[in-house]
């Protein structure tokens, strides 16, 4: 149907247009999508076998939907993508604030216009992008905001009594007629406001200050909620929950690969950053592993969750930290180093909710613990287990490195080290370069340098070396010498980085 050629009700009827509800529209377009084996829900990764099938089932059942999950699980993103299942354009009576269907008007204005003009009733067309309304539930939301209220100014201006439907100023929900209406964080809505939704969901009518108003709204409702909210800030009242036909549980990525795909898709990097800063797969996986360690950490509140925004912000900071060093050293290009993970700490500390034990440690210390655990986990994927190697009868591949530090040698890897100094320091550790080349022979020089630094951090996590925190980097030394040579004030230095956050 060419919507540009249809301008009045008579032409619409001649075209054979048939009205259908929003839910029927979503269902029909989803069926077409499934028959063509099209993916749909572009940008949603990791839900292909879990959330998406449940969502499609709910749409086929023409249900209102509650997306229930912890922070950063793409609930709002999913709701917004439902718009793509709507028809591209739908007709409405021109001038109608409720976008009345010309073949089935519901408002006073719609009825009067059709009655007056008949087939000459002017028609306008509404694009699907304009049929989405979203409201964040906050404690100050009122019934008037959502449903509507009597407007005394309109009554006085039009010289109408309060018995006339035209004195009503409609709220967000009636104005979303024939579209998708989303309420984010539903438990934050006060119980009395939630009650006002009962009739809309079940009987499809609204009540405004005693008006006997039957307004058969055509809406697809989508609600989002965080399970944590049920205890912390509020809850969904039982009768309302009963009226929401399908509750779909979302979840975090179940593998590092899926998590990494999400981060790379969502991270906002400039073309210059992508062109001049090399980020190896190791550092990308380290970023994701931090989130997995956080979700399992005894220091972090599991009920609160660890958002996917943590890894996205961390990766952006990681690239920017390397970029900062490149600019300071007037280099044309660079690569991400393990020492750049110091720049990730601010992205972690603001996105984790600590339990009591975590508060005692402090957010900065917890962030460092998470980075350390991520390094320890990935160390075993790239190199032999240092603990098993130490106990094995076979030659220990780490012996030459550990012994060199045991002789009293130390190195400090400062964040802003120029490439040549960084390379010189790492190459000064005997056995380090050979170890990396033995297990990973076919890598570029930058990748070899990255793995050389990674080995030092890994050995520190397995308590074979000591890693000290500097204001802008790390210092590596022998584990046992550092234990025996502690001075009374040394303990305070370990907490310098935590005091910054």
Each residue's pLDDT tens digit, 464-481: 999 998 888 899 999 876
How many other C-beta atoms are found inside a 10 Å radius of the C-beta of residue 242?
A: 12
Mean pLDDT is lowest, of 144-158, 187-201, 265-279, for 144-158
Across all residues in the chain, what is the average pLDDT? 90
To the nearest 10°, the Cα dihedral for 278, 279, 281, 285? 180
131-140, 144-153, 415-424, 459-468, range with the lowest pLDDT:
144-153
Q: Where are the alpha helices (DSSP H) in 330-485?
A: 345-349, 356-361, 363-382, 386-391, 399-406, 419-427, 432-439, 445-461, 479-484
Mean of pLDDT values over 6-29: 94
Of residues 320, 372, 379, 377, the one with CA closest to residue 346 = 320
Split at pLDDT 50, 70, 90, the class of 484 is low
Contacts of 140 (CB under 8 A, 6+ apart): none
- Average pLDDT of the segment spanning 490-495: 44
How far is residue 98's CA from residue 279's CA, in Å, rounded to a whole number? 51
Beta strands in 294-433 (DSSP E): 334-335, 411-414
The pair of structure tokens assigned to 84 is 């793509």
CA dist., res. 179 & res. 163, Å (int): 28
Nearest-5° angle of CA 216, CA 220, CA 226? 130
- Closest-CA residue to 353 (of 303, 414, 309): 303
Q: Is the pLDDT of residue 489 over 80?
A: no
pLDDT band at 231; cut points 50, 70, 90: very low
Strand partners, 398: none
Average pLDDT score over residue span 44-67: 95
Query: pTM of the entire structure?
Result: 0.87
- Average pLDDT in the 107-115 region? 92
Is the pLDDT assigned to residue 2 strictly greater than 80? no
pLDDT digit string, tens, across residues 317-356:
999 999 999 999 999 999 999 999 999 999 999 899 999 9
Q: Is 175 helix (H, G, I), strand (E, B) or coil?
A: helix
Question: CA-to-CA distance for 156 and 170, rounded, in angstroms?
Answer: 17
Mean local confidence (pLDDT), 123-133:
95
DSSP 3-state of 10: helix
Residue 491 neighbours by CB under 8 Å, 6+ apart: none
What is the average pLDDT across 55-66?
96
Report the chain's C-alpha Rg in angstroms. 30
- Residue with the larger pLDDT of the pair 446 and 490: 446
Give the closest residue to 370 by CA, choosing from 318, 294, 455.
Answer: 294
The conformation of residue 222, written as its DSSP 8-state character, comes to E
Q: Of 89-93, 135-139, 483-487, 491-495, which range is least confident?
A: 491-495
If one compares 496 and 428, the residue with the highest pLDDT of the two is 428
pLDDT average, residue stretch 242-252: 94
pLDDT, tens digit, 9 for 90 and up, residues 304-321:
889 999 999 999 999 999
pLDDT digits (tens, 9 = 90+) for 412-465: 999 899 999 999 999 999 999 999 999 999 999 999 999 999 999 999 999 999
pLDDT at 495 over 50: no
pLDDT at 488: 45
Over residues 118-127, the mean pLDDT reads 95
Over residues 189-211, the pLDDT tens digits come to: 988 889 888 888 877 777 776 66
């Amino acid at each position: 149907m060419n919507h540009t050629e249809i301008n009045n009700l008579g032409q619409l009827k001649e075209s054979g247009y048939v009205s259908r509800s929003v839910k029927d529209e979503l269902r029909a377009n989803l069926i077409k999508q499934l028959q063509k084996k099209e993916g749909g829900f572009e940008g949603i990764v990791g839900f292909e076998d879990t959330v998406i099938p449940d969502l499609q089932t709910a749409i086929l059942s023409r249900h209102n939907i509650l997306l229930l999950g912890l922070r950063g699980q793409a609930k709002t993103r999913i709701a917004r993508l439902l718009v793509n299942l709507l028809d591209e354009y739908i007709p409405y009576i021109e001038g109608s604030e409720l976008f009345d269907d010309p073949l089935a008007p519901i408002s006073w204005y719609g009825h009067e216009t059709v009655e007056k003009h008949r087939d000459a009733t002017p028609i306008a067309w509404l694009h699907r992008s304009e049929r989405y309304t979203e409201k964040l539930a906050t404690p100050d939301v009122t019934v008037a905001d959502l449903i509507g209220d009597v407007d005394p100014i309109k009554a006085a201006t039009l010289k109408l009594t309060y018995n006339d439907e035209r004195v009503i100023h409609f709220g967000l929900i009636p104005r979303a007629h024939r579209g998708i209406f989303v309420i984010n964080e539903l438990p934050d809505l006060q119980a009395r406001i939630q009650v006002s939704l009962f009739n809309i969901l079940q009987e499809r009518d609204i009540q405004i200050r005693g008006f006997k108003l039957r307004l058969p709204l055509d809406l697809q409702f989508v609600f989002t909620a965080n399970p944590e909210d049920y205890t912390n800030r509020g809850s969904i009242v039982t009768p309302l929950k009963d009226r929401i036909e399908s509750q779909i549980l979302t979840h975090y990525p179940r593998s590092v690969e899926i998590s990494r795909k999400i981060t790379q898709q969502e991270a906002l990097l400039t073309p210059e950053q992508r062109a001049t800063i090399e980020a190896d797969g190791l550092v990308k996986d380290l970023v994701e592993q931090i989130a997995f360690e956080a979700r399992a950490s005894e220091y972090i509140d599991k009920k609160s969750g660890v958002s996917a925004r943590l890894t996205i912000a961390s990766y952006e900071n990681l690239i920017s930290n390397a970029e900062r060093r490149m600019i300071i050293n007037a280099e044309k290009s660079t690569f991400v180093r393990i020492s750049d993970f110091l720049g990730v700490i601010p992205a972690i500390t603001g996105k984790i909710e600590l339990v009591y034990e975590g508060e005692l440690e402090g957010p900065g210390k917890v962030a460092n613990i998470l980075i350390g655990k991520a390094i320890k986990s990935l160390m075993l994927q790239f190199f032999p287990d240092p603990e098993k190697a130490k106990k094995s009868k076979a030659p220990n591949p780490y012996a030459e490195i550990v012994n060199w530090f045991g002789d009293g040698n130390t190195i400090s890897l400062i964040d802003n080290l120029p490439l040549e100094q960084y390379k010189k320091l790492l190459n000064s550790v005997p056995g380090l370069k050979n170890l990396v080349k033995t297990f990973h022979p076919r890598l570029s020089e930058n990748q070899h340098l990255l793995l050389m630094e990674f080995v030092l951090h890994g050995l520190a996590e397995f308590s074979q070396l000591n890693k000290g925190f500097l204001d802008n980097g790390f210092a590596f030394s022998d584990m046992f010498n550092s234990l025996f040579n502690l001075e009374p004030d040394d303990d305070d230095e370990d907490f310098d980085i935590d005091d910054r956050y």
